[in-house]
Structure 1
Amino acid sequence: MKIISYNVNGIRSASTKNFFGWLQATDADMVCLQEVKAMPEQIPEIIALIEQLGYHHYWFPAEKKGYSGVAILTRIKPLHVEYGCGEEWIDREGRILRADFEDFSLMSLYMPSGSSGDERQVKKYAFMKFFDGYIDELRQAYPNLIISGDYNICHTPIDIHNPKSNANSSGFLPEEREWMDLFLKRGFIDTFRHFTKDPHHYTWWSFRAGSRGKNLGWRIDYHLATEPMLPRLKKVSILPDAVHSDHCPVLLELNV
């Protein structure tokens, strides 16, 4: 089974760069999208393409047009889809969508960024605090859980191209990295690092200064899986050659 997580930085923009030709070639079973920046009713042509590829599709857009929003595309019809998390301000921004299947649940997550200023950094910390309790409770009902998405956090120095100069940058702040430490220690697996220990693997690059060509990036997109999923983990690949966005996709392969 192939599961892709991809912050597309606008599904309409990505679709003009042969996103759907690429997606067809991947033959992915499930796709978690972040930052779709569209409501389904705004993109009938894109919806038609998704359905032609054989996917059921579920959308949780932000109330603000052209902002945030998550989606899940899946060839296997879920038993249940949960839209949002019940926290009003988070749900207004379209950040959490979950699909429950027979033997596991899959969440598409788009954590807030704090890079635009102090106010959003405070919101990011509020999200992180809420998310801890929310996931602790959710895992009681759904122990086999994969949370795929853009966490907007580099966990360790090998996850960022220049840890020293970015020591005070949102996304690599000590408080954010400590949160990721504790989140993993409570029973989650960073599936990419489970298989790959070496540096220079990134999932996001600034549009500035030719950063992508020089591979001056950040690894902020993850598939985190609960520990009971460990026997099913087969392979995880970052796919930097997919260039529909300033992010690139991450592919998780599971044993069926």
Structure 2
Amino acid sequence: MRIINLSVDGLHQAAQRGLYDWLEEQDADIICLQDLRALEYELDHDVFHPKGYNAYFFDSGVKHYNGVAIYSRQVPKALIYGFGFASGVDMEGRYLQIDFDKISIGSLLAPAAMAANESQEVKMKFFDDLQAHLIKISRKRRDYVFCGNWAMAHKARDVKNASAHEGDVGYLPHERNWLNQLFTQIEYTDAFRKVNNDADEYSWLPTEGDLNGSEWRTDFQVVSNNLANRVEYATIYKGQSFSSHRPVIIDYDLEIE
């Protein structure tokens, strides 16, 4: 099973840059896209519904703002829109999940807290609620793959010239600690790092503000530990630019039922 995830900075723009032509060549089983910046009714053109895939969208209800999508070759058993956090803070980002018999795959866009109108407090509330959710579902007899733009990097090798960015949002101590807990205490695995330990693998190249010109790995596929040994191949595609993010491609020794 091949899963591709990409944060697109606007799906219309990414399509114009050749995203769907490239995806057609990748033979992916699941494609998870984030930051669509489009409402679902604006995506009724055939280009946004590639042949051979079932398309699912979850927009923000606000034009030009966030939104996620999943394309799946197989028809899922169920769809889940959002995490359903009691605080409602999950709607500050976006999450869409498709369920099969034994596995669930989600497309996640986390609040970035980098723009002036975005709050670091809201971002960490989102991740606090997400942590509680991940602990709860880890007790279920089901495996999960969470694909998306997590808006933070984990270790120094995930940020180019990391020492210069220690005070920057996305690489703050409490953000790195959250990811440490996720990967060491809560029984989830960074699928990419399971098979690829290269230090120069970055998925996000900021184009604005103080971070312009830097390179980060903020786009992950986070899997249940039961799936860790099923990861066969992982790469970040650098051959073509569709947005400020790069596609993450991971192959698993799995079949969807």
- Tell whether 2:172 aligns with 1:154: no
1:118 to partner: Cα distance: 8.5
1:82 maps to 2:80:
yes
**Structure 1 residues 120 and 208, CA, compared in 2 at 3 Å: closer, same or farther?**
closer
Asked if structure 2 preserves the Cα contact closer than 8 Å seen for 1:60 and 1:94, the reply is no
Aligned-residue identity in percent: 28
Match of 2:68 in 1: 70
Unaligned runs of 5+ in 1: none
What's the counterpart of residue 251 of structure 2?
253
Q: What is the aligned partner in structure 2 of residue 9 from structure 1?
A: 9
Map of 1:53 onto structure 2: 51
Alpha-carbon RMSD:
2.0
Q: Which runs of 5+ in 2 are unaligned?
A: none
Asked if the contact 2:3/2:29 (under 8 Å) is kept, the reply is yes
Match of 1:180 in 2: 179
Alignment TM-score, normalising by the size of structure 1: 0.92
Q: Indicate the SS of the match to 1:165.
A: helix
Aligned partners of 1:65, 1:58: CA distance in 2, in Å? Answer: 18
2:232 counterpart of 1:234: yes
* Cα contact 2:68–2:95 (8 A) shared by 1: yes
Q: CA deviation at 1:134?
A: 1.3
**Does residue 145 of structure 1 match 2:144?**
yes
TM-score normalised by length of structure 2 = 0.91
Alignment of 1:107 with 2:113, yes or no, is no
- 1:242–1:249 Cα contact (<8 Å) kept: no
Q: Does 1:34 align with 2:59?
A: no
1:135 CA displacement: 1.6
The 1:200–1:177 alpha-carbon spacing in structure 2 relative to 1, beyond 3 Å, is: same
SS in 2 for 1:153: coil
Number of residue-to-residue matches in the alignment:
251
Which stretches of structure 1, 4 residues or more, deviate above 4 A after TM superposition?
Answer: none
SS of corresponding position for 2:180 = helix
One-letter identity of the residue aligned with 1:114: A
8 Å Cα contact 1:82-1:98 kept in structure 2: yes
Work out whether residues 205 and 246 of structure 1, in 8 Å CA contact, stay in contact via their aligned partners in 2.
yes
Would you say the 8 A contact 1:84–1:94 is kept in 2?
Answer: no
